[in-house]
Amino acid sequence: MPSSDQVQVLNTWLSMFGLRVVIALKAKGVHYEYLEQDLQNKSQLLLESNPIHKKIPVLIHNGKPVCESLIILKYIDEAWPSADASFLPKDPYDRAVTLFWADYIDKKMYDAGSRIIRSPDAEQRDQGKKDFIEVLETLDGALGDVFGGGPFFGGQSIGFVDIALAPFLCWFEVYEALGEFKVWEAAKCPLLSKWAEAVWEVPCVKEALSIAPPHKLVEFVQAMRKKMQAGS
Ligand SMILES: N[C@@H](CCC(=O)N[C@@H](CS)C(=O)NCC(=O)O)C(=O)O
Ligand SMILES: *[C@@H]1O[C@H](CO)[C@@H](O)[C@H](O)[C@H]1NC(C)=O
């Protein structure tokens, strides 16, 4: 990468989507400027660089914005190619399978987790919990059957699916606190629980996830719920 490259990340500390981008840049050793955004009062830079969705994360590379976290990961992988830190496999079929599983995480895990956090009634929350556990067990099966048993979805080092999934670990304590359950006891996923331990210890993951300490997320969500209850 030319040293004149300018890289900026627009993020909000609590976002699992934004943390993906931070892990990816750290994994590639790319220097970047981190610009924390206030989503209650969006900056001109955010509105200009993501006028369609007006959401974080946004990666701005030499003035050109890239939006949507999984698209940003793919962009980072292609813009900073590296033989020993490639996120996607070379084989077209293997790439498609990898993208399928990252997409599965986006379609299923965020939604189930949100229902645990947000649903006002116990029945919906329990359904969210059930769905969340099913997602974990499905990912555990994929890690064994599709991705060769680990330790990572990327094999011996982290890859696209690992980076897509790891930031959710920060939120597990929130799901546990509000859903009143223990994730790793409720879900039968021996491979995935080993994965979770291993992935936390990868230096670029550990550094990135320290932006969103789980206890801070729990405090944040509980304060938000109190505010909502007071307002209703
Ligand atoms: N699909 C998007 C999701 C990003 C997203 O949901 N961002 C949220 C924060 S976690 C956001 O910026 N929300 C602001 C808003 O909706 O006004 C991605 O993968 O980047
Ligand atoms: C919103 O952000 C702008 C800067 O981007 C700042 O000048 C202004 O005071 C903020 N407004 C509120 C209500 O926080």
pLDDT tens for 72-113 read 999 999 999 987 889 999 999 999 999 999 999 999 999 999
Output the six-digit token pair for 166: 């790891």
Residue 14 CB neighbours (<10 A): 18
The pTM (predicted TM-score) of the whole model is 0.96
DSSP string, 200-224: HTSHHHHHHHTTS-HHHHHHHHHHH
Q: What was the pLDDT predicted at 227?
A: 86
Q: Are 9 and 35 in contact (CB under 8 A)?
A: yes
Ligand 1 atom having least distance to the Cα of 15: 10
pLDDT tens for 171-217 read 999 999 999 999 999 999 999 999 999 999 999 999 999 999 999 99
Closest CA to 132 of 168, 97, 156: 168
Packed helices 69-79 and 16-28: angle between N→C axes, nearest 10 degrees = 10
Closest CA to 77 of 11, 147, 139, 30: 30
- 8-12, 117-121, 162-166, 172-176: which range is least confident on average? 117-121
Between β-strands 33-36 and 7-11, what pairing exists: parallel, antiparallel or unpaired? parallel
Going by alpha carbons, the residue nearest to atom 14 of ligand 2 is: 41
Going by alpha carbons, the residue nearest to atom 12 of ligand 1 is: 55
Q: Are 205 and 198 in contact (CB under 8 A)?
A: no
